[in-house]
A and B are shown apart, each in its own frame.
Chain A
Amino acid sequence: MIQLLTIRIDEFRGIRELDLAPDGKSFIVLGPNGSGKSGVVDAIDFALTGNVARLSGEGTGGVSLAKHGPHVHRRDDPAAAKVTLTIRHPATGQTAALTRCVKTPDLFTLDPETAEMVEAVEWAVSHPELTLSRREVIKYVNAEPGKRAQEVQALLKLDRIDETRRLLRSALSKISAELKASRTSVGNAEDAVRRHLDLTELLSEQMCAAVNAHRGTLGLELLEAVSPDTKLAEGVQGAPAGGGYDKASALRDVDALSAYIAEHGGLSAAVEDLTAALGLLEADPTILDALKHRHLVEVGLPLVSEAVCPLCDQPWQDAGDLRAHLEGKLARSEVAASLEERIKKSAGEVVEELQRVRGLIQTAQPHAITVERRGDHAALHDWSSDLSAFEANLGSLETLRNEASRLETDPLQVPAALKNALGELRSAIEALLDQSTADDARTALTIAEERWTQLRQARAAKAKSTAAYATAEAVYRAYNEVADKALTELYETVESKFGDYYRRINADDESAFTAGLSPSAGKLDLEVDFYGLGMFPPMAYHSEGHQDGMGVCLYLALIDQVLGNDFRLAVMDDVVTSVDTNHRRQFCNLLKEVFPEVQFIITTHDEVWARQMQSSGLVDRHSLARFHGWSVDGGPLYGSVGDFWEKIDADLDDDVPGAAHKLRRNLEASMAEIAAGLQARVTYRPDNSHDLSMFFNSVKGRHGDLLKKAASSASSWNNNDAKQQVDALKAERTQAILAQDGENWAINALVHSNDWAAMSKADFEPVVEACKQFTELFSCSNPDCDSWIYVVGMPGSEEALRCSCGTLNINLRRK
């Protein structure tokens, strides 16, 4: 947690040199567009995080902190651009000066550097969301669900939850693929054992009979049962030696391979389906195009936040059109995605068949060596390698398409040399001299043992893969359960707070407002109630102003959830531009009542909004910096409320026009605030362009009327103290008005023709004094009191004239 006491900005963005003193309280930076307000926000953002959100991320191509952080006149001198914040750590009360320089944005200095303050700054670095612009506010409301999920998860620091979910899913897929491969290996190994022993089933009884036939021949102990661990050839080593060869088994191996080559219905069916699916893909280039771009569109769609394509920077007339275009692409690619799935499935079946034929080649291959047909052995080996490469190419859509021709013509591609060679190999095996019965038995048992071992290993590997899959599946399921539960609870809380905040702002017309946040598969749907007529996306029927309100409320609900008691600072850059006047007053109340401990730094170009923040008590009278304009060479033209009389005095010595300018600007602002507080009548101007001439007489007259009411009230209650207090105020008023009247010739020059700027110091000094005396009529006598005096009660039934500290509290009601 952190709060700001002072802000010092040097040569940063549009600011040459600026000092502000929020003093840990909420603070307004007020000024017209282009007066440098956002530069203050950028400076705070930079000092706290080492980054400027507006200069990074999407839509900021070619702009960077290093190049564009320093003032344009110091663009080659990043060392000159620096920001110093005096920060306070509310939990410990410690303060320190935090300084960061654009040249070394990742480094910061703290004076004094204590462990708590270092920790506080590091905490701020990880919370860039403390600084918020309207662009960021609206993204929580109007973003597409996928993008909203990303934004909200990033704000809530939940990115890792989704990353973990994807990681565990990916690991599960890998283990699943291994399990499938291990099942194929077991099938191949079982085939090899069955073929060798000439069995149809690998039942223990059948296995025993086949193996015991050979063991009996060798006089070995007969097996009672066969289990996976049974040593089928146990004792063979001790039996009479011989260079044995199991001719019958070898012939079965070669025959099995020949039979597969002659008839491979399973492969043909799988290939037929695969080629048909590939045909569909090739026939319509748009499908392939959709597939190629699908992933890209999936990534790009959530990033659309303005009328520029986030993928190629192509400008669009409207962000909605761009979004609709991408959504159309995604919908069209759904068909493509379904076709891709079919292709992958068929390719998987072809691969299984290829693994099967390679298993057959593997068992036939050694027999070619036995009969010294090394050429056949090499041909079988090469064929197996070719099939293996073919199999690998079926693993991805891109490489698979390159194999389309082979799939259509001859997927097996039996080498020409082998076509007759297998028959010759069979003849050569047949031609071998018959072995002795003992040799037959020994060879048969040795091969049986070998293949039984391979089967045992394949089964063990499969069992291992099955166990690993069970583990992976249980882990993935557990994570989903836990994460979904936590996220559901979290979103329910956020949803409830969001609804509550929004209802507070819109109590007049949407007091029954509700919102629904629904997380699903990486998306976050947001629907809101529309006057009890149903739940709709925020953009569906609500006005832009309402959407702005929702954005801020959702942001506050989210950040309150994330930071809890650590939420002590928020910097808001013109975030409620579109919210209407009445709702902004409610927004002030929301901030003041729900977040009393939070320091809000709020920029705005809107005088009315600034006054509302002050009159509601969200921001006190001195916590305002007024930017009158901006120049490249000087930065913001700036005046703060508290010191503007001192600044005018300072200007009087050598810059009367400057003093005159400040006086007029500040009087306009002060008179507007005083008029609002006293409920003085001012001619309504829809563009809010009320000037000094409109305020002077109105405020003066209203003040006089209120003092008359106060005197009348005091008399009716026979309250002598109150009478004396009112008399004293009347005397002050008389003096101030006399002084003002004395300078009327000059004041009129200001009011009507803005001629003060041409006066000398001698002429202008009494004007300043008269104006100061006049404005003091509306201040409390307590120098620590920040507020202008104000009326309690409605016009016509005024109850009291007060100041915020209570020093002034005059009854206006008659007995």
Chain B
Amino acid sequence: MAGIEANVFESFLEHLTASGDVPEQVTEKLSSALAQEKFPKADEIAEIYREGSGDPVA
């Protein structure tokens, strides 16, 4: 990523961190997944949301 895309990505992560609406773990994993050259699948992103949000289901 370069230029404007990189700026948007960086601002996006800052926005997530500052807002407090998104668990830290989700922000970290999203940061890593979206920075890959090969784009992740939507299922992988959904799994990040599931894993990082709410209490674990017994």
Contacts and interface: CB of A to CB of B under 8 A. Distances in A.
Interface of A: 156-158, 160-161, 163-164, 167-168, 170-171, 173-175, 178, 457, 460-461, 463-472, 474-475, 478-479, 481-483, 485-486, 490, 562
30 contacts: A156-B3, A157-B2, A157-B4, A157-B5, A158-B5, A164-B9, A167-B34, A167-B40, A168-B45, A171-B45, A174-B46, A175-B46, A175-B50, A178-B50, A457-B58, A460-B55, A460-B57, A460-B58, A463-B54, A463-B55, A464-B56, A468-B49, A468-B50, A468-B54, A469-B49, A471-B26, A472-B49, A475-B22, A482-B11, A486-B8
B3 A157 contact: yes
A478 B46 contact: no
- Helix, strand, loop or mixed for chain B's interface? helix
Chain A CB within 10 Å, residue with most, of B19, B23, B55, B57: B57
Contact of B53 (A161, A468, A490): A468
Chain A CB within 10 Å, residue with most, of B5, B22, B43, B58: B5
A470 B21 contact: yes
B40 to A, nearest CB: 7
B52 to A, nearest CB: 7
A122 to B, nearest CB: 12
A179 B57 CA distance: 14
A406 B57 CA distance: 38
Ranked 8 nearest A-B pairs via Cβ: A467-B54, A171-B45, A170-B42, A474-B21, A467-B53, A464-B54, A468-B53, A471-B53
B45 A156 contact: no
Contacts of A470: 21, 53
B30 A486 contact: no
Interface string B1-29: 11111011101100110010111001000
Given A171-B46, A460-B57, A464-B54, A486 B22 contact: no
A486 B57 CA distance: 39
A174 B43 contact: yes
Contacts of A465: 54
A175 to B, nearest CB: 5
Given A460-B57, A468-B49, A475 B8 contact: no
Contacts of B52: 471
B14 to A, nearest CB: 9
- Helix, strand, loop or mixed for chain A's interface? helix
A478 B57 contact: no
B45 A486 contact: no
B22 A474 contact: yes
Nearest to B33: A167
Given A161-B8, A164-B34, A464 B19 contact: no
Contacts of A481: 15
Contact of A160 (B1, B11, B43): B1
Nearest to A173: B42
A139 B2 CA distance: 24
Contacts of B45: 167-168, 170-171
B18 to A, nearest CB: 10
A566 to B, nearest CB: 10
Contacts of B2: 157
Contacts of A158: 4-5
Given A158-B5, A472-B46, 14 more contacts: A160-B5, A164-B9, A167-B34, A170-B45, A173-B42, A174-B43, A178-B50, A464-B54, A464-B56, A468-B49, A470-B53, A471-B49, A475-B22, A562-B3
A218 to B, nearest CB: 27
